Amino acid sequence: MRCRTILLLNLLCWPAVRAQSQQDMFDDLARRAEAALDSRPAEAAQLYKQALALHPNWVEGWFYLGAALYQLGRYVEAADALRRAVSLAPSHGTARALLGLSEAELGDPDQALADLREGEELGLGNNLGFEVGVRVRAAKLLILSSSFDEAMVQLKPLSKKKPDIPEIVETMGLCVLAWPARFADLAPEKQAVVNMAGQAAWYGVSERPEQATATYRQLAERYPDEPGVHYARGLFLIETDLAAAQAEFEKEVQGNPKHWPALIVLASLYVRQGDPESSRRCLRAALPLVPLRYRWLCHAELGRASLTAGKLEDAIAELRTAVWLKPSVSQPHFMLADAYRRAGRKEEAQKENAEFQRLKAVEDPLSVPGMRK
C-alpha cells in the first residue's frame, strides 16, 4: 500500500518536475543567447531557435533571432522571424522597423518603407544608433525614388539629437541637391559636392544659421555649375530672403534646365508674385521630367497657375487630370471645385467641394478646411 502511494505521488509530481526542467532549460538558453547576441550572432541564432522550440510565442525571442540573422546577412530568415514577432506583438515598433530594414536588403522598397514608417510611429526605443539606421535607410530609399522632401522629413528629427555620423550628412546632401543616387556609387569629386551640401543642410536643420549661410555660400562659389547646388542654396534662403532664393532657383534652371524640383519651386514663386504665365512655362518644362508618382502635382500646379491667369478651361483640364492621377489628395479637389464655381458649373463644384471636405477630414481631422496659402 505504501509503495502504491509513493508511485501515485511520483506520477502526480512528474508533470510539474518536467515543466520545471523545461523552464530551467529555456532560461539557460535565453541567457546564453543574450550573452552571444552582439559578438557571436551565429551562436545566438542557434540558441534562440532552441529556446523558441520550447516557447514558440516568445516575442522577444523572435525579435532577437531576427536581429541575429540580420547581422549575419541572412535577410530572408530574418524577415520571417521578424514577421512572427510582429504577428505576436503588432505594437512592437523596433521589430517592425527591423523587418523594414530586412525588406530593404531583399529589394522590396515599397514594403520596406511601409514597415519602417510604421515602426517609427510605434516607437523605436532609446537606441540612437538604431534610430539613425532606420531613418537613414528610409531616406535613402526615398531619395532613389526622387522623393526628396519626404527623405528630408525622415532625417530632420535626428538634428535634435545631433549624432556625429557622416552617413547622415551624405544622405542629407543628396536630399538638398535632389540627386536620386547612392553616395557610394558617385565619383570622389561628386561625393565632395554632396558632403559640402549635406554639411550646409545639417547646419541649417540643427539651427546653426551662420555656419549654414557660410557653407552654402562656399558651396555655390566652389561648385557653381554642379546640378542642384543653386537649388539647395535657394531652399535654404527661401524662408529669410525670397528674392535671393528666387535668383538661386533661376540660376539653377538656366544652368540645368532639366532640374524639375527647381522648376516646380520657381513656378510656385512666380504664381505667388502674380506672374502665372511664367509659372505655366516652368511647369510645362517640368512636366515631362517629373517622376510619374509626382505628375499629379505638376498638373495641380498648372491648374493653380491657369486659375490665376483666368484660363478656366485650361485650369479645369489640368485639375481634372491631377484628381484622376491622385484622387486621395484633398487640395486638387478644392481647386477644381473653385474652377467649376467660376465657370458656373454649380453641381460639379458642389461634388468636388464635398470630396475635398471628406478627404481633408481624413488628412487632418483638427484642421479647418480651406486653401493652403
- Provide the pLDDT for residue 8: 47
- Provide the pLDDT for residue 106: 95
pLDDT at 369 over 90: no
- Count other C-beta atoms under 10 Å from residue 216's C-beta: 27
pLDDT at 15 over 60: no
The tens digit of pLDDT for each residue in 245-303 reads 999 999 999 999 999 999 999 999 999 999 999 999 999 999 999 999 899 999 999 99
Bigger pLDDT: 236 vs 22:
236
**CA–CA distance, 204 with 236 (Å, rounded to integer):** 7
- Provide the pLDDT for residue 299: 96
pLDDT at 212 over 50: yes
- Provide the pLDDT for residue 265: 95
The pLDDT of 112-124, averaged and rounded, is 94
Contacts of 231 (CB under 8 A, 6+ apart): 176, 177, 178, 248, 249, 252, 259, 261, 262, 265
Domain chopping of the chain, boundaries: 289-373
Asked whether the beta carbons of 74 and 67 are under 8 A apart, the reply is no
Give the chain's largest Cα–Cα span: 107
The tens digit of pLDDT for each residue in 150-171 reads 999 999 999 888 777 899 999 9
Residue 146 phi/psi, 5-degree rounding, is: 65, 25
Q: What angle do CA 195, 198, 200 make, to 5 degrees?
A: 110
Binned at pLDDT 50, 70 and 90, residue 17 comes out as very low
Asked whether the beta carbons of 141 and 109 are under 8 A apart, the reply is yes
User: What's the pTM?
Assistant: 0.84
pLDDT at 366 over 80: no
Which of 335, 342, 344, 339 lies closest to 369 in space, CA to CA? Answer: 335
The tens digit of pLDDT for each residue in 48-94 reads 999 999 999 999 999 999 999 999 999 999 999 999 999 999 999 99
> What percent of the chain stands above pLDDT 70?
92
Asked whether the beta carbons of 277 and 296 are under 8 A apart, the reply is no
Asked whether the beta carbons of 261 and 178 are under 8 A apart, the reply is yes
DSSP string, 166-194: HHHHHHHHHHHHT--S-GGGS-HHHHHHH
Contacts of 153 (CB under 8 A, 6+ apart): none
Asked whether the beta carbons of 79 and 66 are under 8 A apart, the reply is yes
- Provide the pLDDT for residue 365: 60
Burial of 144 (0-12, 13-18, 19+ CB in 10 A): middle
Binned at pLDDT 50, 70 and 90, residue 7 comes out as very low
Asked whether the beta carbons of 151 and 139 are under 8 A apart, the reply is yes
> What percent of the chain stands above pLDDT 90?
82
Q: What is the dihedral of CA 133, 134, 139, 141, to 10 degrees?
A: 100
| Superfamily of segment(s) 289-373 | Tetratricopeptide repeat domain (1.25.40.10)
- Count other C-beta atoms under 10 Å from residue 265's C-beta: 23
Q: Where are the beta strands (DSSP E) in 143-288?
A: none
CA distances (Å), 142 to each of 180, 343, 348, in order?
Answer: 9, 39, 36
- Provide the pLDDT for residue 20: 57
Which of 266, 268, 236, 242 lies closest to 254 in space, CA to CA? Answer: 266
Asked whether the beta carbons of 195 and 175 are under 8 A apart, the reply is no
Which of 323, 288, 319, 281 lies closest to 301 in space, CA to CA? Answer: 319
- Provide the pLDDT for residue 368: 40
Asked whether the beta carbons of 194 and 186 are under 8 A apart, the reply is yes
The tens digit of pLDDT for each residue in 169-211 reads 999 999 999 999 999 999 999 999 999 999 999 999 999 999 9
- Provide the pLDDT for residue 370: 40
DSSP structural state of residue 15: H
**CA–CA distance, 282 with 304 (Å, rounded to integer):** 13
- Provide the pLDDT for residue 282: 96
First to last CA, the chain: 93
| CA gyration radius, the chain | 28
- Provide the pLDDT for residue 125: 86
